[in-house]
Amino acid sequence: MEPLQQDRVKLAAQLVRKGATMLAEPCQKDGGVQVRYHGKTYCTTHDDLSSILETKEVSMDSVTADLRRVLLTKLNESLAQLEREADGPKQEQLVTLMTKYFDLLQKLPSKT
């Protein structure tokens, strides 16, 4: 269902409060008012503004935490694979991969 025009105006106002800027040029598709938010241009008529507002703020802390979790999981999986692997070249491949995971883990900023 298409949101009402009134809701769109409200959403656009919300975006502006969050730091979006209204653009002078209208949308090329439908002539709607455009806003610029976090380096991207959105049309207040045809873009889904509510999903933009719902998007979680990305922070270095959250990305680092996710990356650490994923890398540790992968490292653990590779370790289990390595333990079972009898083939030399495959072991070498796994060790190379694990070295990369490990290096990246070491490069992550330490927990504050």
39/49 Cα distance (integer angstroms): 15
If one asks whether residue 43 binds Zn ion (CB under 5 A), the answer comes out as: yes
If one asks whether residue 30 binds Zn ion (CB under 5 A), the answer comes out as: yes
Q: Which structure tokens are listed for 53?
A: 């507002």
If one asks whether residue 32 binds Zn ion (CB under 5 A), the answer comes out as: yes
82/24 Cα distance (integer angstroms): 59
Provide the minimum distance between the beta carbon of 5 and Zn ion in the complex, in angstroms, as a whole number. Answer: 13
Q: What is the DSSP string of 6-45?
A: HHHHHHHHHHHHTT-EE-SSPPTTT---EEEETTEEEETT
User: Between 29 and 56, whose beta carbon lies closer to Zn ion?
Assistant: 29
User: Between 23 and 75, whose beta carbon lies closer to Zn ion?
Assistant: 23
If one asks whether residue 23 binds Zn ion (CB under 5 A), the answer comes out as: no
If one asks whether residue 46 binds Zn ion (CB under 5 A), the answer comes out as: yes
Q: Note the residues at the interface with Zn ion (CB under 5 A).
A: 27, 29-30, 32, 43, 45-46
